[in-house]
Every structure is written in C-alpha cells, then in structure tokens.
Structure 1
Amino acid sequence: MKILATARLTLRTLETSDAPFFLQMINDPSWIENIGDKGIRTVAEAEKNIEQGPVLMQRRLGYSLYLVERSSDGVPVGLCGLIKRDALPDADIGYAIWPAYWGEGYAYEAAAAVVLHARDSVGLVRLLGITSPQNLRSNNLLKKLGLSFVRVVRFKDDGSDTNLYSLEFPSRHA
C-alpha cells in the first residue's frame, strides 16, 4: 500500500515479497555496523520478520517501516518509516539507504516526508530518533530534520551507547 510520495520517491508498506531486498539491506555491513545484526540469514526468516514486524505494526498502529522506491522505475533504494519500540516511550524515525544510493539525498527526502506524515497523518505529539554516536551521517540527518539531541542512552541488549533525539510537534489546538 502506497503511504507517501515525494518528488523522486514512493514509500509503501513492506510486504513479504520484499524479503529478498530486506534481507540484503539488513545484512549489509553498513547496517550491521550502524544498526546491528538482526541474525536473519534466509529469505524465509526475512519474510517472517516483515510479517511479525512492519506488517503487524502497520495493522496495529497505522504506521511502520516502509520500503523506499524510486518513483521513476520502482527500484528499491532503502527503508524509512516510524517504529514503536518497547524500549522507547514514543515512536522513532528509522531509515537506511542501500549504499549504492548514498549521497543522492534519498535519506533526507524520505525521512522529511515521514516526519510530516508523523505530525499530520499519524498525529504524533513527539517523534524520537536514535542512532549510534559514531554514525555522523545519521546524527546530522536527525538534526537536519529538526530533531534535537536529548542524551546518550543504553537500552540495547549489547549495552552500547545510543544517541537519543526528540522533536516535539506543536499542538494543533494552540
């Protein structure tokens, strides 16, 4: 299901048929370094993760992690969307662009659309962002999107530090 469209991109819900691309994304060295190893190694495991993660979240909450495709040719370039994690009080924005497409502005374009979607369509009051302290590109992207650094937190199973960012949306009733 199409969720958002930008000048160059379409963001749509993930489907089990996206499992081969999803599997490549989450096993890319840059994903493992900056986001972590999900331990998913087969297409069947990727299908199960999509079903129990983004598909279920979309059904339950009305938002999830989306597939990012180029509008011109439908080529998948990454993932971007909203994620509600048990370890955080509010939804956070998540994104990853396939390394072959880095430097083309796709991460910002997709993420900026998701921020507006979070505010205007989903109705979030606050949006969080998390990233590894050493991931300078991601830290800079969160700031460019208007999120402010809050503090370093440790909530991952491996005990590593994570930068927490936040963006408060103004009340619509003010």
Structure 2
Amino acid sequence: MTRHPLEVLRTERLRLRLVEPGDAAVFLELFNDPAFIEHIGDRGVRTLEAAAKSIEDGPVAMQRTRGHSMYMVELLAQGAAVPVGLSGLIKRDALEDVDLGYAFLPRHRGQGYAFEAARAVVAHARTLGIPRLVAITTPGNAASIALLLRLGMCFQGTRVVVAGEPELNLYGMDLP
C-alpha cells in the first residue's frame, strides 16, 4: 500500500494520518455514538457541517499550532484504508501535560486497534520530545483504564477537566 500524503504513523495493521475536512462523516458518526457521549462527552455535533467545523477548529488548528493533534486511524486491509477511529495527542488548557486521546467506531472496538494506535502515538510523543504524557477517562470506562495501564500509565488521581462536569481519572507516564 502506498504512503498517504498525510500519513504520520504506521503500524502493522494501521495508518494514522492527519485529519482533513473530508473526514466529517466519520467524526459525525463517532461523536454521536452513545459510548462516546457517555465516556468522552457530547460535542453537540449533529450535522456534516458541524463535524467539518469541529475538524478545522480541533485537529487541523492544533496540528498547525502545536505540531501534533488527533489523527485519523485507518485499517490497512486488502489494498484499502478503512477509517476505524481517532488517536493522537491533545494539549488541553486544563491539563499541564499533553494528553493521549483515542476513540473508535463501535464496529471496530475489541480488536486491539486502540492499543496498537495508542502505543504508536506514545512512541511518536517520544520522538517529538514530549517529556510526560497523561490521559483522562471516566471512572467507569474499564476498557480505557485497562488500555492505559497496559501502556504503562499510572493512576495519578482524579481531576475536574471541565468546570461543572464530573471528575475524571487522570493517568500519566514519563517519556524517557
């Protein structure tokens, strides 16, 4: 399979590439998934136009200003790239360190893609010289908690990330 011009990372099964406005349908589906809303939050994205704006204001802007962002994760299979979710690096105002983020479409969960992509993103953070990485999750998100622990992150406590919202579990790791 040829290299995509926006490719950032590649694993055995996955390509992680920069998000582009043409990914609006994937964003719309992902942001309206009940598990995404429960564990990550309701972004209020209900139309393709709102999804495209979310892409421009989020990953595209962060990539431009920080040199990293959330990446589109694609399954490389049988000569085609199938979008399966997002994984990448986010700098949130409420957190001192860069945050590892990920979210996958329901039909692509439970197949190891989140761990494979997250592991590649952690390695990428090292190459970018990021000294410490954190991740947040709802206390009831057992799958994310297990993934973060498997990556080598340690529980750091709880934190309110958005005023008025419930506390989230905070995990962290130093990147040697």
Whether the TM-score (by the shorter chain) exceeds 0.5 is yes
* Structure 1 residue aligned with 2:58: 53
Query: In the aligned structure 1, how far is the partner of 2:157 from the partner of 2:172?
Result: 10
2:124 alignment partner AA? H
Identity %: 51
* Structure 1 residue aligned with 2:126: 119
Q: For 1:21-73, what per-residue CA distance to the aligned partner results, in whole angstroms no more than 9, with x for missing partners?
A: 11100110010011000011111111111001100100111100000001122
Q: For 1:120-160, what per-residue CA distance to the aligned partner results, in whole angstroms no more than 9, with x for missing partners?
A: 2x110000110000000001101111111000111223320
* Structure 1 residue aligned with 2:83: 76
* Structure 2 residue aligned with 1:110: 117
Query: In the aligned structure 2, how far is the partner of 1:142 from the partner of 1:9?
Result: 19
1:16 alignment partner AA? P
1:50 alignment partner AA? I
Which residue of 139, 144, 151 maps to 1:145? 151
TM-score, scaled to structure 1: 0.95
* Structure 2 residue aligned with 1:158: 164
Query: In the aligned structure 1, how far is the partner of 2:35 from the partner of 2:164?
Result: 18
Query: In the aligned structure 2, how far is the partner of 1:157 from the partner of 1:111?
Result: 27
Query: In the aligned structure 1, how far is the partner of 2:50 from the partner of 2:165?
Result: 25
Query: In the aligned structure 1, how far is the partner of 2:65 from the partner of 2:114?
Result: 26
- The residue correspondences of 1:10-25 to structure 2 (distance < 5 A) are 10-25=15-30
TM-score, scaled to structure 2: 0.94
Structure 2: stretches of 5+ with no match in the other structure: 1-5
Structure 1: stretches of 5+ with no match in the other structure: none
* Structure 1 residue aligned with 2:14: 9
Question: Shift of the alpha carbon at 1:102?
Answer: 1.3
CA RMSD of aligned residues (A): 0.8
* Structure 2 residue aligned with 1:128: 134
Query: Residue 85 in 1 paired to residue 92 in 2?
Result: yes
Query: In the aligned structure 1, how far is the partner of 2:156 from the partner of 2:147?
Result: 15
Query: In the aligned structure 2, how far is the partner of 1:34 from the partner of 1:163?
Result: 11
1:169 alignment partner AA? L
Q: Which aligned segments of 4 or more residues in structure 1 are displaced greater than 4 angstroms?
A: none
The number of equivalent residue pairs is: 169
